[in-house]
Amino acid sequence: MNSDRKNQNEIESMISEALKAEPDLSLSSTFTDKLVGKVKRYLVWKELFTEFAMKIGLVAGTFIVLGICLIFRSPIEINPVILFLFKNKQIIIVLGILILFTYFIDQVLLRYFFRKKISSEKYY
């Protein structure tokens, strides 16, 4: 019983010594500012991409429903709208890519670069 108490006292003294000692590695004074800045940028990018994906999903869903309505409206004969889309598929694909690229630039990149910088207040 006495030896257990002696071991506990030794362990407690080692712990208190370790807690009082200076650390071998010190962090820079701007470490937290840099970390907070990186986390803010990550969260902003995540928010912008999530909003963009939701908007694209809504538009794509609308076109899918429209396409299904056009296909099932007249299944016996070829629908003239579908025939037109298949004849001009290259032009439609290129226009779709250009519109998607422009929308991405407008909704994601410009919103990121023109976002007001949140003033970083330092609390002492």
For residue 33, give the DSSP letter: H
- The half-sphere exposure of 39 on its side-chain side, counting CA atoms within 13 A, is 6
When pLDDT is averaged across residues 50-67 and rounded to a whole number, the result is 91
CA-wise closest residue to 92 among 106, 108, 81: 81
26-58 residue pLDDT tens:
778 888 899 998 999 899 899 999 999 999 999
Q: Does the structure show a pLDDT above 70 at 116?
A: no
pTM for the complete prediction?
0.59
**How high is the pLDDT of residue 75?**
60
**How high is the pLDDT of residue 9?**
85
